[in-house]
Amino acid sequence: MTKFSDLNLAPKVLKAVAETGYETPTPIQAGAIPPALEGRDVLGIAQTGTGKTASFTLPMITLLGRGRARARMPRSLVLAPTRELAAQVAENFDAYAKYTKLSRALLIGGTSFKDQDAIIDKGVDVLIATPGRLLDHLERGKLILTDVKVMVVDEADRMLDMGFIPDIEEIFKRTPFTRQTLFFSATMAPEIERITNTFLSNPAKIEVARAATTNDNIKQGVVVFKAADRRKEASQKRALLRALIDQEGEACTNAIIFCNRKSDVDIVAKSLNKYGYQAAPIHGDLDQSHRTRTLDKFRDGDLRFLVASDVAARGLDIPNVSHVFNFDVPSHAEDYVHRIGRTGRAGRKGTAVMIAIPRDDKYLEAVEDLVKQTIPRMDNPLKQEKAAPHSDDSAKSDEKPKRSRGRRKQDDAPAKEAASSPAAEDAPAQDKPKAAAKPQHDDKPKQDRGNRGRNRGRNDRDVVGLGDDVPAFLAKSFAERAKDK
């Protein structure tokens, strides 16, 4: 069995790795580190949670052991799609480079440009950044990439989903042609393959698992849910989520709950807290300091439930997440792989449960096509609600009220009105004595029916006109009125 000591890493790096408690490299690490140390380009394809970060940080630290960075000219560059993932890479680098003198800088949004400029001006060996913030510094003339010797692109497929590919291409053009490129992705879309063919030179390809597969140690399930009342679907879905959490019991020590929309993230977190479940939201609209504090609380065990958008799907390396709940079926099938990859990490067991509504059929089918398996169906824990027939109120609510023009039927009258009205008023209109009809309306029966239809709900009496008491000026024609003037 291969050990880290067999991979020709620098002694100081091996010492730091040993202190983290790892002795045996994962398959992607064992496959990617040797060619990276030889200076070759590397194309790594592996599912999330397999140790890809160490696959490039460990050889990068070893390769940069000699040399010194100059001001505004980093010696290596790591690109990550989200702030959380970039921060996670920075933490890994700090842990593995603790016995070296290498410096690093983290360029992400939500933090001060001034503070970042001050660090860059001192010179950094490793620059870890998101594409947008990196381009901001380049356009301001605060950064030069002509001294980059090692360039890493992490989670390239997520870069594609977020629309960063043009930015990546622009950044590649600003780096030396002689750079070494380490390229990692969980899936290989055609656009990703085009990028690798353009910017990588004869790369060593390491594919430790078929693209877009899920870990075998993650127990998966989906509850197909149909609301009894479409108007109450959202609240019933949240009730189902709580029931699923309760069903897992003590096995659910903590969990990440993924929603497709930021607004739903806030609503679900608020709902869970209302019912006594300790939860907090995290999404792209929150400022970076708030997101960092929330993540730290979740990582330290002070927060049980983290409700997140996909901004957190790839940037969290928390080894003890017991469960992942997909409140929504992801609209991009690849996101399913990354979401459930937050659990079952480092060889641990994990559970991933998803809620699907009828509108999600095409998305669920796309997920199953991608992972090449049928996700087991689970019973709805709210069995009584699932099996209950539609109530009278819900059935009536689905029917649009019909507007009738003509006589009012006895069955349509409200119960309260029927109880208090005389029998003569409850009888159909044709049974009423003809003497009750108003003679001035006999020549306009259609108008009368229309008036009665419009006034239904206020009273059921016939509309009484002016009769024979019409004022004289109303009887005159417009021409006659003009002559009077």
Structural domains for the chain: 4-207 (3.40.50.300), 218-389 (3.40.50.300)
Q: Check residue 112 and give its pLDDT.
A: 87
User: CB–CB of 79/171 below 8 Å?
Assistant: yes
The residues, ordered by sequence, that sit 6+ positions from 364 with a Cβ below 8 Å of its Cβ are 222, 329, 354, 356, 375
What integer pLDDT is reported at residue 176 of this predicted model?
95
Find out whether 326 and 339 touch, Cβ atoms under 8 Å.
yes
CB 467 within 8 A of CB 441: no
Identify the pLDDT of residue 130: 95
Between helix 333-340 and helix 361-371 the angle, nearest 10°, is 70
- pLDDT of the residue at 464: 54
According to the model, what pLDDT value does residue 51 have? 83
pLDDT the model gives residue 313: 57
Rounded to whole angstroms, the Cα distance separating 235 from 270 reads 12
Residue 40: Cβ-neighbour burial (10 angstroms; 0-12, 13-18, 19+): middle
Neighbours of 274 (CB within 10 A): 10
Q: What are the two backbone dihedrals, phi and then psi, of residue 3, each rounded to the nearest 5 degrees?
A: -120, 165
> Cα(225)–Cα(379) distance, rounded to whole angstroms?
9
- Res 233: pLDDT: 93
pLDDT at 403 (0 to 100) = 47
Tallying the residues shown for the chain, one arrives at 485
Closest CA to 310 of 332, 280, 343: 332
Mean pLDDT of successive 10-residue segments in the chain (485 residues)? 88 94 90 96 84 93 87 94 89 94 92 90 94 94 94 90 90 95 88 92 86 81 91 94 96 96 95 96 85 89 93 68 96 86 84 96 94 93 56 39 44 42 40 44 45 46 56 62 58
Dist CA 206 CA 378 (whole Å): 36
- Give the C-alpha separation, 192 to 364, whole Å: 24
Say how far apart CA 397 and CA 387 lie, in whole Å.
19
